[in-house]
Amino acid sequence: MKMKWYFVVVLCVMVVVLTLESRFSFLGRSEKSGHTAPLPNDDPPSMWVQDVFVTEQATAEQSKSWELLAKESAFYDAKQLVLVNQLQVEFFPPDVEPLHLTAERGRIHSFTGDMTVEGRVLLRPLWGYALETAVLHWDAASRRLHTEAEVRISAETIDIVGTGFSSDMEQQRFTLQRQVKVSFH
């Protein structure tokens, strides 16, 4: 009898989860990760996974919207929520090079595909620029990255600081909303 490849993957994930259950407590315990991530009502996760890889498919025409690699992940099935630590995300806007994002932690709503990342968020290349902020949101339906936090955008000869950021992935442009300061070097 041949085993399907997905059965092998599920079996491997179960082994990893069982191994991790014996080694780790809840995501967010400060002695494990160095910070406290908020838990949904302190409920235990449905599943723990280490070194998880997730892909979101945007449309039937587009093979993927983003890919995420996270060091630690806690899945809360009843709340349709995934908490991740030490993450890297690659966004795939149409017809341009991918955007690479790193952050300390994040929350993914598994039903909508929306994501919020926090803790030294770095986004490169942003159509020739690099972005740094404390928090960044991905709205899957509108394919938009945005934040109300302070943002620093830089390139080889320019630094831009402002509050509030929004980007249109389809049109490959971004806007800073308030208190914008520009310096050239």
Question: What is the extent of the structural domain holding 102?
Answer: 46-56+65-184
The token pair that represents 16 in the structure block: 């990893």
Distance CA(8)–CA(22), nearest Å, equals 22
Q: Give how far Cα 50 sits from Cα of 30, 47, 62, 144, Å.
A: 17, 10, 28, 28
pTM, full prediction? 0.73
Kindly state whether residue 136 falls inside one of the protein's structural domains: yes
Structure tokens at 148: 């109300």
Q: Tell me the helices (H) and strands (E) count for the chain, helix number first.
A: 2, 9
Listed residue (58, 53, 116) closest to 83, CA to CA: 116
Query: How many residues are recorded in the chain?
Result: 185
- Within a domain: 85: yes
Q: Is residue 142 part of a domain?
A: yes
- What per-residue confidence (pLDDT) applies to 58? 62
Position with higher pLDDT, 174 vs 135? 135
- DSSP-derived letter for residue 78 is G
DSSP letter at 66? Answer: E
> For residue 126, what is the domain's CATH number?
2.60.450.10
Each residue's pLDDT tens digit, 95-153: 778 889 999 999 999 888 899 999 999 988 767 789 999 999 999 888 889 999 999 99
Whether residue 52 lies inside any domain: the answer is yes
Domain count, the chain: 1
